[in-house]
Structure 1
Amino acid sequence: MYKMKRYLGVVFTLYLVCCVATQECPKYHYEEQILSKVVRLEHRLEMMEEKGNKEVKVCSHCPDGWIKYKGSCYLFVENKLSFDAAQANCQCLHGHLVHIENENENAFLRNHLRTLKDSLMWIGLTDSETEGVFKWIDDSSTVSFTDWSPKQPDNSGNKEDCVEFYPDLKWNDRNCEASLRSICENKLKLTLQS
Protein backbone atom coordinates (compact mmCIF):
# COMPACT_ATOMS: atom_id res chain seq x y z
CA MET A 1 0.00 0.00 0.00
CA TYR A 2 2.81 2.40 0.93
CA LYS A 3 4.60 1.83 -2.39
CA MET A 4 1.41 2.45 -4.36
CA LYS A 5 0.70 5.70 -2.49
CA ARG A 6 4.28 6.84 -3.08
CA TYR A 7 3.96 5.98 -6.76
CA LEU A 8 0.70 7.93 -7.06
CA GLY A 9 2.31 10.90 -5.29
CA VAL A 10 5.20 10.89 -7.77
CA VAL A 11 2.80 10.70 -10.73
CA PHE A 12 0.76 13.56 -9.29
CA THR A 13 3.87 15.71 -8.73
CA LEU A 14 5.23 15.04 -12.23
CA TYR A 15 1.90 15.91 -13.75
CA LEU A 16 1.76 19.23 -11.87
CA VAL A 17 5.32 20.11 -12.83
CA CYS A 18 4.61 19.41 -16.51
CA CYS A 19 1.34 21.29 -16.39
CA VAL A 20 2.86 24.41 -14.76
CA ALA A 21 5.98 24.34 -16.94
CA THR A 22 4.03 24.30 -20.19
CA GLN A 23 1.32 26.73 -19.01
CA GLU A 24 -1.25 24.58 -20.87
CA CYS A 25 -3.66 24.09 -18.00
CA PRO A 26 -5.24 26.15 -15.27
CA LYS A 27 -3.38 24.90 -12.20
CA TYR A 28 -6.17 24.96 -9.64
CA HIS A 29 -8.74 23.08 -11.79
CA TYR A 30 -6.40 20.24 -12.69
CA GLU A 31 -4.98 19.91 -9.18
CA GLU A 32 -8.50 19.46 -7.88
CA GLN A 33 -9.30 16.78 -10.49
CA ILE A 34 -6.07 14.92 -9.91
CA LEU A 35 -6.44 15.05 -6.14
CA SER A 36 -9.94 13.65 -6.51
CA LYS A 37 -8.62 10.79 -8.67
CA VAL A 38 -5.83 10.05 -6.19
CA VAL A 39 -8.34 9.86 -3.35
CA ARG A 40 -10.52 7.46 -5.37
CA LEU A 41 -7.51 5.31 -6.24
CA GLU A 42 -6.44 5.18 -2.59
CA HIS A 43 -9.95 4.11 -1.64
CA ARG A 44 -9.89 1.35 -4.28
CA LEU A 45 -6.49 0.18 -3.05
CA GLU A 46 -7.75 0.01 0.52
CA MET A 47 -10.75 -2.04 -0.61
CA MET A 48 -8.49 -4.37 -2.61
CA GLU A 49 -6.22 -4.80 0.41
CA GLU A 50 -9.21 -5.64 2.58
CA LYS A 51 -10.30 -8.29 0.09
CA GLY A 52 -6.73 -9.58 -0.10
CA ASN A 53 -6.56 -9.86 3.70
CA LYS A 54 -9.73 -11.90 3.93
CA GLU A 55 -9.16 -15.57 4.46
CA VAL A 56 -10.28 -18.04 1.85
CA LYS A 57 -12.51 -20.54 3.61
CA VAL A 58 -14.31 -23.60 2.40
CA CYS A 59 -18.08 -23.61 2.40
CA SER A 60 -19.03 -25.74 5.40
CA HIS A 61 -21.91 -27.84 4.11
CA CYS A 62 -22.65 -30.41 1.42
CA PRO A 63 -25.91 -30.87 -0.50
CA ASP A 64 -28.51 -33.11 1.13
CA GLY A 65 -27.53 -36.77 0.96
CA TRP A 66 -23.83 -36.04 0.41
CA ILE A 67 -21.19 -36.79 3.06
CA LYS A 68 -18.47 -34.26 3.84
CA TYR A 69 -14.83 -35.24 4.19
CA LYS A 70 -12.00 -32.68 4.14
CA GLY A 71 -12.54 -30.47 1.04
CA SER A 72 -15.08 -32.64 -0.77
CA CYS A 73 -18.62 -34.00 -0.62
CA TYR A 74 -19.33 -37.64 -1.52
CA LEU A 75 -22.51 -39.30 -2.70
CA PHE A 76 -22.90 -43.07 -2.64
CA VAL A 77 -25.26 -43.63 -5.58
CA GLU A 78 -27.76 -46.49 -5.31
CA ASN A 79 -28.57 -46.80 -9.05
CA LYS A 80 -26.57 -49.46 -10.85
CA LEU A 81 -25.04 -48.01 -14.02
CA SER A 82 -22.21 -48.66 -16.46
CA PHE A 83 -19.00 -46.71 -15.84
CA ASP A 84 -19.77 -44.04 -18.47
CA ALA A 85 -23.38 -43.70 -17.32
CA ALA A 86 -22.20 -43.39 -13.70
CA GLN A 87 -19.80 -40.59 -14.69
CA ALA A 88 -22.58 -38.83 -16.63
CA ASN A 89 -24.86 -39.16 -13.60
CA CYS A 90 -22.20 -37.62 -11.33
CA GLN A 91 -21.76 -34.76 -13.80
CA CYS A 92 -25.51 -34.11 -13.70
CA LEU A 93 -25.08 -33.78 -9.94
CA HIS A 94 -22.26 -31.22 -10.49
CA GLY A 95 -19.52 -33.69 -9.61
CA HIS A 96 -17.54 -36.60 -11.05
CA LEU A 97 -16.76 -40.20 -10.17
CA VAL A 98 -14.55 -40.09 -7.08
CA HIS A 99 -10.88 -39.23 -7.51
CA ILE A 100 -9.02 -40.84 -4.60
CA GLU A 101 -5.90 -38.81 -3.89
CA ASN A 102 -4.39 -40.52 -0.87
CA GLU A 103 -4.59 -43.24 1.76
CA ASN A 104 -6.64 -41.11 4.17
CA GLU A 105 -9.37 -40.41 1.60
CA ASN A 106 -9.38 -44.09 0.62
CA ALA A 107 -9.74 -45.13 4.29
CA PHE A 108 -12.65 -42.71 4.71
CA LEU A 109 -14.43 -44.26 1.72
CA ARG A 110 -13.70 -47.81 2.87
CA ASN A 111 -15.08 -47.07 6.34
CA HIS A 112 -18.33 -45.82 4.83
CA LEU A 113 -18.55 -48.78 2.44
CA ARG A 114 -18.40 -51.13 5.45
CA THR A 115 -21.78 -49.76 6.54
CA LEU A 116 -23.42 -50.60 3.19
CA LYS A 117 -24.78 -53.93 1.95
CA ASP A 118 -23.22 -53.61 -1.51
CA SER A 119 -19.65 -52.33 -1.66
CA LEU A 120 -19.16 -52.87 -5.40
CA MET A 121 -18.88 -49.26 -6.58
CA TRP A 122 -17.28 -47.46 -9.48
CA ILE A 123 -14.49 -45.00 -8.77
CA GLY A 124 -13.26 -42.55 -11.40
CA LEU A 125 -10.21 -44.51 -12.55
CA THR A 126 -9.70 -46.10 -15.96
CA ASP A 127 -7.00 -47.35 -18.33
CA SER A 128 -9.25 -47.28 -21.39
CA GLU A 129 -6.84 -45.02 -23.36
CA THR A 130 -3.67 -47.08 -22.77
CA GLU A 131 -3.72 -50.51 -21.16
CA GLY A 132 -2.00 -50.45 -17.78
CA VAL A 133 -1.84 -46.63 -17.57
CA PHE A 134 -4.59 -45.74 -15.11
CA LYS A 135 -5.87 -42.17 -15.15
CA TRP A 136 -8.51 -40.30 -13.17
CA ILE A 137 -11.50 -39.40 -15.31
CA ASP A 138 -12.03 -35.92 -13.83
CA ASP A 139 -8.63 -34.45 -14.76
CA SER A 140 -6.79 -37.16 -16.77
CA SER A 141 -3.99 -37.27 -14.17
CA THR A 142 -2.05 -40.51 -13.80
CA VAL A 143 -2.78 -42.44 -10.63
CA SER A 144 -0.21 -41.97 -7.87
CA PHE A 145 -1.91 -43.66 -4.90
CA THR A 146 -3.40 -47.16 -5.40
CA ASP A 147 -5.05 -49.81 -3.23
CA TRP A 148 -5.41 -52.84 -5.50
CA SER A 149 -6.81 -56.20 -4.39
CA PRO A 150 -4.25 -59.03 -4.56
CA LYS A 151 -3.34 -59.93 -8.18
CA GLN A 152 -5.13 -56.86 -9.52
CA PRO A 153 -5.38 -55.21 -11.95
CA ASP A 154 -5.45 -58.24 -14.25
CA ASN A 155 -7.46 -57.07 -17.31
CA SER A 156 -9.28 -60.42 -17.39
CA GLY A 157 -10.32 -61.30 -20.92
CA ASN A 158 -8.74 -58.06 -22.16
CA LYS A 159 -12.01 -56.31 -21.29
CA GLU A 160 -11.38 -54.69 -17.89
CA ASP A 161 -10.58 -50.99 -18.19
CA CYS A 162 -12.56 -49.40 -15.34
CA VAL A 163 -12.00 -49.58 -11.59
CA GLU A 164 -14.35 -50.51 -8.77
CA PHE A 165 -14.24 -51.02 -5.03
CA TYR A 166 -14.32 -54.79 -4.64
CA PRO A 167 -16.00 -56.70 -1.74
CA ASP A 168 -12.65 -56.78 0.11
CA LEU A 169 -12.82 -52.94 -0.06
CA LYS A 170 -9.77 -52.81 -2.30
CA TRP A 171 -9.62 -51.83 -5.98
CA ASN A 172 -10.30 -54.12 -8.89
CA ASP A 173 -10.39 -53.57 -12.65
CA ARG A 174 -13.68 -54.53 -14.29
CA ASN A 175 -15.51 -54.42 -17.59
CA CYS A 176 -16.78 -50.86 -18.00
CA GLU A 177 -20.20 -52.09 -19.15
CA ALA A 178 -20.95 -53.81 -15.83
CA SER A 179 -23.82 -52.23 -13.88
CA LEU A 180 -22.59 -51.09 -10.48
CA ARG A 181 -23.36 -48.49 -7.88
CA SER A 182 -20.93 -45.56 -7.78
CA ILE A 183 -19.34 -42.85 -5.68
CA CYS A 184 -19.62 -39.25 -6.85
CA GLU A 185 -17.36 -36.48 -5.57
CA ASN A 186 -18.01 -32.76 -5.56
CA LYS A 187 -15.31 -30.34 -4.37
CA LEU A 188 -16.55 -27.81 -1.82
CA LYS A 189 -16.65 -24.29 -3.22
CA LEU A 190 -14.25 -21.65 -1.90
CA THR A 191 -15.72 -18.44 -0.54
CA LEU A 192 -14.18 -15.23 0.77
CA GLN A 193 -14.96 -14.56 4.43
CA SER A 194 -13.60 -12.10 6.98
Structure 2
Amino acid sequence: MSLFLSGFLSVILCDSRRLTEYVLIQEYKTWNEARNFCQKNYIDLATVQTDEQWSEINKLRAKYLSDTWIGLYDDVNSWRWSFHDEHLTYARWDKYQPDNYGGDQDCVILHSNGYWRDKGCDLKYVFWKACTKTFVLRLSS
Protein backbone atom coordinates (compact mmCIF):
# COMPACT_ATOMS: atom_id res chain seq x y z
CA MET A 1 0.00 0.00 0.00
CA SER A 2 1.45 3.38 -0.95
CA LEU A 3 0.50 6.87 0.12
CA PHE A 4 -0.09 9.53 -2.49
CA LEU A 5 0.35 13.13 -1.34
CA SER A 6 -0.79 16.08 -3.35
CA GLY A 7 -0.93 19.70 -2.31
CA PHE A 8 -2.50 22.63 -4.03
CA LEU A 9 -3.37 26.23 -3.27
CA SER A 10 -6.99 26.50 -2.34
CA VAL A 11 -7.65 29.39 -4.72
CA ILE A 12 -5.12 30.56 -7.28
CA LEU A 13 -6.53 34.08 -7.47
CA CYS A 14 -5.26 35.07 -4.03
CA ASP A 15 -2.95 38.06 -3.97
CA SER A 16 0.45 36.72 -2.91
CA ARG A 17 1.00 39.63 -0.50
CA ARG A 18 -2.10 38.99 1.61
CA LEU A 19 -3.32 36.12 3.73
CA THR A 20 -6.96 36.85 2.89
CA GLU A 21 -8.52 38.50 -0.14
CA TYR A 22 -12.21 39.34 -0.48
CA VAL A 23 -14.10 39.04 -3.74
CA LEU A 24 -17.73 40.02 -4.25
CA ILE A 25 -19.90 37.39 -5.91
CA GLN A 26 -22.65 39.37 -7.60
CA GLU A 27 -25.37 36.74 -7.43
CA TYR A 28 -28.34 37.00 -5.08
CA LYS A 29 -28.55 33.98 -2.79
CA THR A 30 -29.79 33.08 0.67
CA TRP A 31 -27.09 32.75 3.32
CA ASN A 32 -27.07 28.94 3.06
CA GLU A 33 -26.97 29.05 -0.75
CA ALA A 34 -24.10 31.56 -0.62
CA ARG A 35 -22.18 29.46 1.92
CA ASN A 36 -22.67 26.27 -0.11
CA PHE A 37 -21.60 28.05 -3.30
CA CYS A 38 -18.43 29.39 -1.65
CA GLN A 39 -17.54 26.10 0.01
CA LYS A 40 -18.00 24.23 -3.26
CA ASN A 41 -16.22 26.69 -5.56
CA TYR A 42 -13.82 28.63 -3.33
CA ILE A 43 -13.10 28.45 0.41
CA ASP A 44 -16.01 29.94 2.35
CA LEU A 45 -17.96 33.12 2.98
CA ALA A 46 -15.85 36.01 4.21
CA THR A 47 -14.54 35.95 7.76
CA VAL A 48 -13.59 39.27 9.36
CA GLN A 49 -11.46 38.92 12.50
CA THR A 50 -9.24 42.01 12.63
CA ASP A 51 -9.44 45.77 12.12
CA GLU A 52 -7.24 45.34 9.04
CA GLN A 53 -9.65 42.84 7.46
CA TRP A 54 -12.63 45.04 8.35
CA SER A 55 -10.96 48.04 6.71
CA GLU A 56 -10.09 46.01 3.62
CA ILE A 57 -13.59 44.62 3.09
CA ASN A 58 -15.09 48.08 3.70
CA LYS A 59 -12.91 49.67 1.02
CA LEU A 60 -14.28 47.11 -1.41
CA ARG A 61 -17.85 47.45 -0.10
CA ALA A 62 -17.78 51.21 -0.71
CA LYS A 63 -17.52 50.53 -4.45
CA TYR A 64 -20.77 48.53 -4.51
CA LEU A 65 -23.00 50.21 -1.89
CA SER A 66 -25.09 47.12 -1.29
CA ASP A 67 -25.75 44.85 1.65
CA THR A 68 -23.76 41.61 1.42
CA TRP A 69 -23.61 38.31 3.28
CA ILE A 70 -20.56 37.49 5.39
CA GLY A 71 -19.84 34.11 6.99
CA LEU A 72 -21.20 34.87 10.46
CA TYR A 73 -24.22 33.02 11.87
CA ASP A 74 -25.95 32.34 15.20
CA ASP A 75 -25.82 28.67 16.20
CA VAL A 76 -28.31 29.20 19.09
CA ASN A 77 -25.64 29.46 21.80
CA SER A 78 -23.20 31.89 20.18
CA TRP A 79 -22.17 33.70 17.01
CA ARG A 80 -19.81 31.65 14.86
CA TRP A 81 -17.95 31.91 11.56
CA SER A 82 -18.83 29.31 8.94
CA PHE A 83 -15.12 28.94 8.09
CA HIS A 84 -13.69 26.42 10.59
CA ASP A 85 -16.81 26.94 12.76
CA GLU A 86 -14.88 29.47 14.89
CA HIS A 87 -16.43 31.48 17.73
CA LEU A 88 -16.83 35.22 17.23
CA THR A 89 -13.95 37.08 18.90
CA TYR A 90 -14.02 40.31 16.86
CA ALA A 91 -17.18 42.25 16.06
CA ARG A 92 -18.28 45.36 14.16
CA TRP A 93 -22.01 45.39 14.93
CA ASP A 94 -24.16 48.32 13.81
CA LYS A 95 -25.94 50.34 16.49
CA TYR A 96 -28.60 48.25 18.31
CA GLN A 97 -27.37 45.07 16.65
CA PRO A 98 -27.72 42.16 16.84
CA ASP A 99 -31.41 42.51 17.66
CA ASN A 100 -32.89 39.22 16.37
CA TYR A 101 -35.95 41.14 15.18
CA GLY A 102 -38.85 38.73 14.79
CA GLY A 103 -36.86 35.94 16.43
CA ASP A 104 -35.35 34.51 13.25
CA GLN A 105 -32.32 36.65 12.39
CA ASP A 106 -29.53 34.10 12.56
CA CYS A 107 -27.25 35.25 9.72
CA VAL A 108 -25.22 38.42 9.20
CA ILE A 109 -24.82 40.99 6.45
CA LEU A 110 -22.21 43.67 5.98
CA HIS A 111 -24.61 46.62 5.70
CA SER A 112 -24.03 49.36 3.15
CA ASN A 113 -22.84 51.58 6.04
CA GLY A 114 -19.95 49.17 6.74
CA TYR A 115 -21.24 47.61 9.97
CA TRP A 116 -22.84 44.22 10.66
CA ARG A 117 -26.55 43.50 11.05
CA ASP A 118 -28.31 40.25 11.78
CA LYS A 119 -30.87 39.20 9.16
CA GLY A 120 -33.09 36.26 8.32
CA CYS A 121 -31.05 33.59 6.55
CA ASP A 122 -33.69 33.14 3.83
CA LEU A 123 -33.32 36.68 2.48
CA LYS A 124 -31.27 37.05 -0.70
CA TYR A 125 -28.17 39.23 -0.90
CA VAL A 126 -24.97 39.27 -2.91
CA PHE A 127 -22.04 37.93 -0.92
CA TRP A 128 -18.31 38.03 -0.25
CA LYS A 129 -16.14 35.01 -0.63
CA ALA A 130 -12.81 34.86 1.13
CA CYS A 131 -9.72 33.65 -0.61
CA THR A 132 -7.38 32.30 2.04
CA LYS A 133 -3.78 31.14 1.75
CA THR A 134 -4.36 27.51 2.64
CA PHE A 135 -2.83 24.30 1.48
CA VAL A 136 -5.02 21.23 1.31
CA LEU A 137 -3.31 17.86 1.54
CA ARG A 138 -5.09 14.83 0.17
CA LEU A 139 -4.02 11.44 1.47
CA SER A 140 -5.01 8.41 -0.51
CA SER A 141 -3.86 4.84 -0.60
TM-score (norm 1): 0.60
Among candidates 125, 135, 145, match of residue 72 of structure 2: 125
In structure 2, what is the equivalent of residue 93 of structure 1?
A: 41
- The amino acid across from 2:31 in the alignment is F
Give the share of equivalent positions with the same residue, in percent: 18
Q: Which one has the largest radius of gyration?
A: 1
Q: Deviations over 1:23-79 (max 9, x none)?
A: xxxxxxxxxxxxxxxxxxxxxxxxxxxxxxxxxxxx8x942xx66772123220100
Which blocks of at least 5 consecutive residues in structure 1 are unaligned? 1-58
In structure 2, what is the equivalent of residue 7 of structure 1?
A: none
Q: Is the 8 A contact 1:99 1:136 kept in 2?
A: yes
- Seen in structure 2, the aligned counterparts of structure 1 residues 168 and 81 have a Cα distance that, compared at 3 Å, is same
- The amino acid across from 2:39 in the alignment is Q
- Seen in structure 2, the aligned counterparts of structure 1 residues 69 and 175 have a Cα distance that, compared at 3 Å, is farther
Matched, 1:174 2:123: no
State the alpha-carbon separation in 2 of the partners of residues 67 and 74 from structure 1.
Answer: 10
State the alpha-carbon separation in 2 of the partners of residues 87 and 101 from structure 1.
Answer: 18
- The amino acid across from 1:143 in the alignment is L
- The amino acid across from 2:87 in the alignment is T
- Seen in structure 2, the aligned counterparts of structure 1 residues 89 and 121 have a Cα distance that, compared at 3 Å, is same
- Seen in structure 2, the aligned counterparts of structure 1 residues 109 and 94 have a Cα distance that, compared at 3 Å, is same
- The amino acid across from 1:130 in the alignment is V
Shift in Å at residue 141 of structure 1?
Answer: 1.3
The secondary structure found in structure 1 opposite 2:63 is: coil
Higher relative contact order (CA 8 A, sep 6+): 2
State the alpha-carbon separation in 1 of the partners of residues 91 and 15 from structure 2.
Answer: 22
Aligned length, in residue pairs: 126
CA RMSD in angstroms, aligned pairs only: 2.0
In structure 1, what is the equivalent of residue 110 of structure 2?
A: 165
The secondary structure found in structure 1 opposite 2:70 is: strand
Shift in Å at residue 178 of structure 1?
Answer: 0.4
Q: Deviations over 1:109-149 (max 9, x none)?
A: 0011111142x01000000x215x10011111110110000
In structure 1, what is the equivalent of residue 92 of structure 2?
A: 147
Moved over 3 A (4+): 66-69
Which blocks of at least 5 consecutive residues in structure 2 are unaligned? 1-8, 136-141
Aligned residue runs from structure 1 range 20-35, under 5 A:
none
The secondary structure found in structure 2 opposite 1:154 is: coil
The secondary structure found in structure 1 opposite 2:36 is: helix
**Bigger share in helix:** 1
In structure 1, what is the equivalent of residue 139 of structure 2?
A: none
